Amino acid sequence: MSKPNRGAKIDLFLKLSIAVMFIIGFLIFMYPFVVDAINNVIDQHRLAEVQIKNEKRSEADKKKRLKQLETENKQLHTIIPGVGSLADPFQTSLKKMESPKKEYFEQHMIGAIFIPKIKVSLPIYDQTNDFLLDEGATVLQGTSYPVGGKNTHSVITGHTGLAEKKLFTDLNKLKKQEQFYLHVEEKKMAYQIDRIRIVKPEDFNALKIEDGRDLVTLLTCTPYGINSHRLLVTGHRVKYPVQAAKKIRVTENYHRSRIIYLIAGCIFFILIFLYFIWRKIVLYQSQKRTYDFIFYLYQNGKPMPGVRAWVSCKGQDICRADKLIYTTSDESGVIKFSHIPGGIYCVETENGLRIKGKIWRVKDSVFTIVGHPSRRHKQIKQSMKYDIIESKGT
């Protein structure tokens, strides 16, 4: 019975430490992607729940609610011409309040926004505060509700750069002529982007109501991580396209598929990591025992006797008492090395073959042949066929 030397112990410790640090780093790297995907799926579920409840409402109730929002749009009082009483949505705070329950979000949800270009599918809430901003897109107080109509300008806000959600993080990728869609109280509207601006937080001039126009502006912080300015993406009302339904469905399915792929990828990566750890432990433990490296060497289906072979580990030939360990295949083509400490070894033959073997399980009695025999010298004739048949231990 042999024992691993101090170097083997240190090598195992270092490899396991590096592996653990790597997997921790991977999980930290994946955290925002997985959490964002989970939160998006939750958003889709919340939207679906509200939609089911809305379908159960009477037509009269739906029309009453829509009429109420349209009436409030007409009654907007403004400080500067065409703009309601505004405040920067990202400078207010409700952190001292208790987190509201599910019913609070359902009560304030009035619809959904879909931006297929950047895979956004979010609920829209009827006012802006910290709680609602963390869960989706919100209507900025003092601006029109997003129900369409002339002389309206709705401002829909969303966070950028949250660790748990992307929300409006990719808003800067939008370009003019691209479209986004609003579904509010079962009213479907499409808007085509015609203006993209970056302004200071206190500059509300770009949010004015314009005579005769139906506008929606998407608002978020910029630049990413600094948030010193506000990005404004403004679109005007256009005819709702037939292909919108397909684009929205693709966007919704994207979030569901994404979470499946991300979780499956993480599980696969963790399994690979655990396999790596298991293999390192097996190889370390196998060094406490000895095994036989044995196989049958054939050429064109016939045994190859008298072939000289030697064993090496990590490119270094194995010696005992300063003598190279070698053997010769017998009449049956058997090449055998006995009582070798566990690990990963290569047996090389005088005719240029290299056969790799390793210990698969500590309790095995022989090395497992891995891969296919490789030719070390180019001068070996390509027409010659070599077969390596492993000897299974009992």
Q: Is residue 357 domain-shared with residue 242, that is, in the same domain?
A: no
Confidence of residue 146 (pLDDT cuts 50, 70, 90): very high
pLDDT at 385: 45
Q: 113 pLDDT exceeds 70?
A: yes
As a whole number, mean pLDDT of residues 266-285 equals 89
Q: What gap in Å lies between CA 352 and CA 371, rounded to an integer? A: 16
pLDDT at 392: 56
Confidence of residue 56 (pLDDT cuts 50, 70, 90): low
Q: What are the tens digits of pLDDT across the range 155-196?
A: 999 988 777 788 898 999 999 999 999 998 878 999 999 999
Q: Is residue 104 domain-shared with residue 169, that is, in the same domain?
A: yes
Q: Helices H, strands E: what count in the chain? A: 5, 20
CATH number for the domain harbouring residue 352: 2.60.40
Q: Which residues are catalytic?
A: 159, 221
CATH number for the domain harbouring residue 34: 2.40.260.10
Q: Is residue 341 domain-shared with residue 233, that is, in the same domain?
A: no
Q: Treating both helix axes as pointing N-terminal to C-terminal, what angle do 6-56 and 244-286 enclose, rounded to 10 degrees?
A: 160
pLDDT at 49: 73
Q: What gap in Å lies between CA 223 and CA 230, rounded to an integer? A: 8
Q: Is residue 92 domain-shared with residue 207, that is, in the same domain?
A: yes
Residue 314 lies in a domain: yes
For the chain, give the percent of residues with pLDDT over 70.
82
Q: Is residue 381 domain-shared with residue 244, that is, in the same domain?
A: no
pLDDT at 192: 97
The β-bridge relationship of strands 187-199 and 229-238 is antiparallel
Residue with the bigger pLDDT between 230 and 44: it is: 230
Q: What gap in Å lies between CA 3 and CA 19, rounded to an integer? A: 24
Contact 97, 20 (CB under 8 A): no
pLDDT at 54: 66
Q: Is residue 112 domain-shared with residue 253, that is, in the same domain?
A: yes
pLDDT at 19: 80
Residue 268 lies in a domain: no
CA distances from 195 to 176, 178, 217, 239, 343 (A): 7, 11, 9, 18, 66
Q: Based on the structure, what is the number of domains in the chain?
A: 2
Strand, coil or helix: 195 = strand
Q: What are the tens digits of pLDDT across the range 18-47?
A: 888 888 888 788 877 777 777 777 777 777
Residue the block writes with tokens 């002339």: 150
* Residues 6+ away with beta carbon under 8 Å from 150: 212, 213, 214
Residue with the bigger pLDDT between 390 and 251: it is: 251
Domain boundary among 247, 262, 277: 262
DSSP 6: H
Q: Is residue 246 domain-shared with residue 296, that is, in the same domain?
A: no
Q: Is residue 212 domain-shared with residue 311, that is, in the same domain?
A: no
Contact 164, 36 (CB under 8 A): yes
Q: Is residue 193 domain-shared with residue 303, that is, in the same domain?
A: no
Q: Is residue 101 domain-shared with residue 243, that is, in the same domain?
A: yes
pLDDT at 383: 37
Residue 112 lies in a domain: yes
As a whole number, mean pLDDT of residues 122-149 equals 90
Domain boundary among 262, 281, 311: 262
Domain holding 27, by residue range, is 23-262
Q: Is residue 244 domain-shared with residue 300, that is, in the same domain?
A: no
Residue 284 lies in a domain: no
Q: What are the tens digits of pLDDT across the range 200-225?
A: 988 888 888 898 999 999 999 998 87
As a whole number, mean pLDDT of residues 346-350 equals 88
Residue 257 lies in a domain: yes
Determine how many CB atoms are found less than 10 A away from the CB of residue 188.
Answer: 15
* Most confident of the ranges 19-33, 133-147, 300-314: 133-147
Contact 114, 180 (CB under 8 A): yes
Residue with the bigger pLDDT between 150 and 103: it is: 150
Residue 51 lies in a domain: yes
Q: What gap in Å lies between CA 360 and CA 105, rounded to an integer? A: 56
Joined together, the tokens standing for residue 170 give 């990719």
pLDDT at 22: 83
Average pLDDT, the chain: 82
Residue 174 lies in a domain: yes
Nearest CA to 19 out of 195, 339, 279 is that of 279
pLDDT at 74: 79
What would the DSSP string read from start to end of 346-384?
A: EEEETTSEEEEEE-SSTT-SBPEEEEEEEES-TTS-TT-
CA distances from 386 to 305, 376, 392 (A): 13, 13, 19
pLDDT at 386: 47
Query: At residue 269, what are phi and psi to the nearest 5 degrees?
Result: -65, -40
Domain boundary among 262, 279, 310: 262
For the chain, give the percent of residues with pLDDT over 90.
25
Strand, coil or helix: 76 = coil
Confidence of residue 93 (pLDDT cuts 50, 70, 90): very low
Confidence of residue 241 (pLDDT cuts 50, 70, 90): very high
As a whole number, mean pLDDT of residues 88-105 equals 67
Residue 274 lies in a domain: no
pLDDT at 175: 95
Confidence of residue 79 (pLDDT cuts 50, 70, 90): very low
Q: What gap in Å lies between CA 15 and CA 18, rounded to an integer? A: 5
pLDDT at 3: 61
Written as one letter, the residue type at 203 is: D
Confidence of residue 81 (pLDDT cuts 50, 70, 90): very low
Cis before 223? omega within 30: yes
In sequence order, the β-bridge partners of residue 155 are 217
Least confident of 35-44, 78-87, 272-281, 350-359: 78-87
Q: Is residue 250 domain-shared with residue 294, that is, in the same domain?
A: no
